[in-house]
Structure 1
Amino acid sequence: MKFTDSPTIELQVRSAHLSIHQDNGSMHVGTSVWPCSLVLVKFAERWSPLTSSSSSSTPNPYAHLLDFSNKRAVELGCGCGLASMGLFLLGLNDVVLTDIAPVMPALKHNLKRNKPSLHNKTLKTAQLYWTNPAQINALKPPFDVVIATDVVYIEESVASLVAAMEALVSDNGVVLLGYQLRSPEADRLFWELCARVFAIEKIPHEDLHPEYAYEEADVFVLRKK
C-alpha cells in the first residue's frame, strides 16, 4: 500500500518546506513516496544536533549518529529523493542520490522543484543498479553514511542490495535504514543476509518522531561487524 495517493507530499524539515511530486500511475515504485522516508527524516530531525537544545538536561542518545558534519553519504533506491533532501537539510551536505534509470526523471524533477528549499544547491545524482559493480565503484566508496528506505520488497533483489550496502559503507560507517515489511520472503532473506555482515540496532519506537511513528515502519542502524 502506498503512503497516499495525493499527487504531492509535503514535509517540513526545520525551517524548510519540501514538496515532492509523485506519480502513482507509474510502472515504477520509485516514482511514489513511501512512508519510511518520512519516518527516517523526522526521527533524524527530532534528535539532530542542529535541532536539539544543548541546554536540555536530557542527553541526546543519537547526537553522534546524526552529526553529519564532514560526512559522505549515498542513498540507495532514493526514488523521489525525499530522504536525502531531508537529511541534507539536517547537515548532510555531501550526498549522492542513486536509483535505476527509469526513476531518474522523477528524481531530477523533484530536486529541481525543491532547489529553493535546498539552499539553491543541486544535489548529486547517479544511476545505480545494485548488481553492477562498475557503477558501485564509480561512486568512489566507502561512504560514512548509506541511506536506504523502503527498498526491501522483492526477494530476488535482496542479495544484491545487501552486497551493495556492504561495498559502499565504510568500516566505521552506518547504514540508516527505514524499513517496513513488504514481502515475508524478502524480509526473511534480508535479515538473514544482513546478520552475516552487520550488527543491527533497532531504534525504539518511542524515539521516533511522535507524529511520524507509524506502527508498521521502523528505523534501523546497521554497522559492519
Structure 2
Amino acid sequence: MAEEEALTASEPLALESSFTHWARCVEVPIGEGRVVSVEQDPDSFVLGTTVWDSSKTLLKFIEQRPERFQRFSSICELGAGCGGLAGIASAIVTSGLADVVLTDIGPVLPWLRRNVRENLTGKEMQRVRVEQHAWYGAKKQLTKTLKRC
C-alpha cells in the first residue's frame, strides 16, 4: 500500500515533448552530459523499427529513479524495438545488475544491436545481451528467455 501511495504521489517526470516517430535519429539526454542516440527506420513496415515516445518516458523514469532498479539482479526488456531505450538506460544507471537482456523479433535485431553497441561503454556492454524473441510467441520460448535473464 505504501509503495502504491508513493507512486501516485510522486512528482512528474521531466520529459521532452518532441514526437519521434518520423525522425531518422532519436536523441534522449540521460545523466549529466550523456545522450542516448538511436537510429531508426520510419519508412519500414516492421513493427519495432521506430522508437515509441513511451520508451523515452520509461528511460527518464529509470534515470530519475535508479534505486528502484538497483535491487534486481537482471532486467529483461521484452520487445525492445530498434532503440532498446529502457535496456540502455538500465545498463547506464544500474551498475550493480548482473545482466540486461534486450529482446525483439529477428528483423529488428540489426537495428537494436547497432544502437546498443553505439550507446554503451565497453564496461556496460559486458552486462548486456541482445537476443531474438517474439514476446507474443510460445510460452516455452518465453520461459526459456526469462530463465536466461
Q: TM-score, normalised by structure 2?
A: 0.72
Question: Does the 8 Å contact 1:9/1:20 carry over to 2?
Answer: yes
Describe the shift of the 1:140–1:47 C-alpha distance in structure 2 as closer, same or farther (beyond 3 A).
closer
**Pick aligned residue for 1:90 from 76, 89, 93:** 93
Aligned position for 2:57: 39
Describe the shift of the 1:32–1:121 C-alpha distance in structure 2 as closer, same or farther (beyond 3 A).
same
* Structure with more helix by fraction: 2
Does the alignment pair 1:9 with 2:15? no
Aligned position for 1:78: 80
Larger Rg: 1
Letter in 2 for 1:97: L
Identity %: 30
Does the alignment pair 1:109 with 2:126? no
Letter in 1 for 2:85: L
Runs of 4+ in 1 over 4 A off after TM superposition: none
Cα displacement string for residues 92-145 of structure 1 (whole angstroms, at most 9, x for unaligned residues): 6311111111111111121122233x64515201111222233223224396xx
Aligned position for 2:137: 131
Q: Which runs of structure 2 are paired with 1:34-73 in the superposition (5 Å)?
A: 34-49=52-67, 66-73=68-75
Question: Does the 8 Å contact 1:84/1:97 carry over to 2?
Answer: yes
Q: Which runs of structure 2 are paired with 1:137-176 in the superposition (5 Å)?
A: 137-141=143-147
* Structure with more strand by fraction: 1
Aligned-residue CA RMSD (Å): 2.3
Segments of 5+ residues of structure 1 without an aligned counterpart are 50-65, 144-225
Segments of 5+ residues of structure 2 without an aligned counterpart are 1-18
Task: Figure out how many residues of one structure are paired with residues of the other and give that number.
Answer: 125
Distance 1:71 1:98 in 2: 17
